Amino acid sequence: MGQCGGEHLELPPGGVLSWLGWCRERGYEGPMVPVWAKRLSVPDSETPARSKMAIDRLVARREVHLREKTLWRMLYETVGRAEEILGVNVEDLDFAGRRCPVKAKGARSKARRRGQAREDFVLETVYWDAGTARLLPRLLKGRTRGPVFVTHRRPGPGKVVSSRDVCPDTGLARLSYGQARALLDEHTAVRGPGTGWDLHEYRHSGLTHLGEAGASLLMLMAKSRHKKPENVRRYFKPSPDAIAEITSLLAPGDSRR
């Protein structure tokens, strides 16, 4: 966005600017972007960050199924996007290294060779820790292939599902984003359906807690796989207690004794 005379002008994204440059190089006429136009800062996200205690208590609840416990813990520890984690297959998991590759948001296709699969994308790696490591083997029960997170019922006879999205051993289909979101809402809604947590809150919460623990901006970018610092800032929402604690460092030398 740019500003002039009290009015705002939206500055095109990088892809549009590249296209305009391409037009100019080839002699095509295109709209001009004023030199005074300035891009506004990235707006803050409205997604809240949940406390670590709230997340631990939710995962520990007895009525929550093991599948949901594992998914929520994995989302939190990897700070991965829900679509990425739901898309993981058992054969992708590196149990010893506590990591796995995921097809990231906006992943570009690799340069294809003749006969290469069309869904061959550049992958990124996410990492988890002890909580997920304890739950995954219990969830899989010896399964060695197929989607990690599956539904409890086989797809109906009229439903077409990709072979990659069905466990070849059980016939169960991959859990969808909509199903996973509805399950989380079911366990967290307090004012009726649709008022519960969102799956994306685990990503926000994980990055916030890492930042509160002292992780540097570069480490947060590496963990979240963001390319721009301003995008990481949107996810970092320290709690009032964390802000109060760091503010105490500014007190006079004898005030903290």
Q: Which residue is catalytic, options 73, 203, 204, 223?
A: 203
Decide if 145 is catalytic. Answer: no
Decide if 152 is catalytic. Answer: no
Decide if 65 is catalytic. Answer: no
Pairwise CA distance, residues 34 & 11, whole Å: 9
Counting beta carbons within 10 angstroms of the beta carbon of residue 125, is it exposed (0 to 12), middle (13 to 18) or buried (19 or more)?
middle
Decide if 81 is catalytic. Answer: yes
Decide if 110 is catalytic. Answer: yes
Decide if 203 is catalytic. Answer: yes
Q: Name the CA dihedral angle for 243, 245, 250, 254, rounded to a multiple of 10 degrees.
A: 160
Q: Which residue is catalytic, options 50, 69, 73, 81?
A: 81
- Which one-letter DSSP state was computed for residue 127? E
Pairwise CA distance, residues 80 & 85, whole Å: 7
CB neighbours of residue 82 within 10 Å: 18
Q: Which residue is catalytic, options 202, 223, 235, 237?
A: 235
Q: Is the Cβ–Cβ distance between 117 and 110 less than 8 Å? A: no
Pairwise CA distance, residues 165 & 122, whole Å: 19
Q: Which residue is catalytic, options 52, 187, 200, 225?
A: 200
| Bridge-based pairing state of the strands 7-9 and 99-102 | unpaired
Q: Which residue is catalytic, options 110, 112, 134, 145?
A: 110
Q: Which residue is catalytic, options 98, 99, 225, 226?
A: 226
Contacts of 41 (CB under 8 A, 6+ apart): 230
Active-site positions?
Answer: 81, 110, 200, 203, 226, 235
